[in-house]
Amino acid sequence: MNFDHLAAVMRQLALEAGDRIMDIYNSPDFEVRTKSDASPVTQADEAADALISAGLAREFPSLALVTEEQAGSHAQSVSTFLVVDPLDGTKEFIKRRGDFTVNIAYVENGVPLRGVVYAPAKGRLFYTLADGRSVEEKGRFDKATPGEQVPISVAVPDNRALMVVASKSHRDQATDDYIARYGIRDLTSAGSSLKFCLVATGEADLYPRLGRTMEWDTAAGDAVLRGAGGEMIRFEDHAPFTYGKPGFENPFFIAYAPGVILVK
C-alpha cells in the first residue's frame, strides 16, 4: 500500500463529502427516512456515501470496500479493506447539533492502520499521516494542499481525576455505573467518532462504550487514536480490538490513554 497516496485520497474525499453534507445541513429542510434496522438515514448520508465510494473504488479498485449505506458490502467478512461511515452521528445531524463526522479507514489484517475523521460543522479534521502518526489539521482545509498539521497525542492521565467522554445519544445506566467506578474530574458528552479524537488529543482520557456499534462507526476514530498513542480494547476481557468480524458488528469496548488504570 502506498500510504502517502492513501492519506491524500482519504483526506480529500472526506473534505469533499463534508461539503456535500453541509450543503444539505444548511438547507431549510431535508428528508429523513428509517432504515430496516430502525436507524435514521438522510440524503446527506447517501450523497456522502456515493461520493466517497466512487472515489475509493477509482483509486483503489483491488481493495474490498465496506460502507454503512451499502448493505451488499456487508455480506462477507474480510481482513484487509477500506471501511466508510459517510455520516456518523446522523441523529446529531438531524437535530442540527453539529456532532457528526465523515469517517474513512484502511484496515489491514484486522488492524485499522490509517484513518480520517472530519467534523465539518465543528471545523475539526483529524487523520493519520503516511507514517501512521496522527495530526489535527488547522486552517481553511484546502482540498489540494494540507494546512498546518499539528501532531496530537494522548494525555498522561491522573487516575484520581480522569477526563471521561461518553456518547451523547446512546448513553445508558450501565455506562454511567461503569464510569462511576473511576475518579472523575469531568464528564463530557459528545456524538459520533469525535469521542475517539478527544482522547487522541488529550481532551479526554477514557471513552467506554457499552452499546451496539459497527466497525464503520469506530475504525477511523480507532486509527486516529492509535496513531496518537492511545489504545482500544474489548470491554469484556480487555483483549485486543480487531476488525473484519463476521457481520462487522463490534463488541462493547474501551478507548483510553495508556496510564488509565482500567477496572473490570
The pLDDT tens digits of the residues spanning 15-45 come to 999 999 999 999 988 888 888 777 888 899 9
d(CA 156, CA 82): 32
Nearest partner of 13 among 222, 220, 250, judged by Cα:
220
What pLDDT, in 10s, does the model give residues 173-215? 899 999 999 999 999 988 889 999 999 999 999 999 999 999 9
Any idea which of 57-61, 75-79, 257-261 has the lowest mean pLDDT? 75-79
Banded model confidence at residue 154, pLDDT cuts 50, 70, 90: very high
* Residue range 3-151 in CATH 3.30.540.10: yes
- Asked if the model's pLDDT at residue 71 lies above 70, the reply is no
Nearest partner of 182 among 160, 152, 198, judged by Cα:
160
CATH 3.30.540.10 in the chain, residues? 3-151
Banded model confidence at residue 69, pLDDT cuts 50, 70, 90: confident
pTM value? 0.95
- Asked if the model's pLDDT at residue 125 lies above 70, the reply is yes
- Asked if the model's pLDDT at residue 127 lies above 70, the reply is yes
CATH 3.40.190.80 in the chain, residues? 162-256
What pLDDT, in 10s, does the model give residues 102-124? 999 999 999 999 999 999 999 99
d(CA 18, CA 97): 15
Residue 73 has a pLDDT of 67
Helical H segments across the chain, by residue range: 3-25, 43-59, 90-94, 173-179, 194-200, 215-227
Residue 250 near residue 213, CB atoms below 8 Å:
yes
CATH number given to 162-256: 3.40.190.80
Residue 191 has a pLDDT of 84
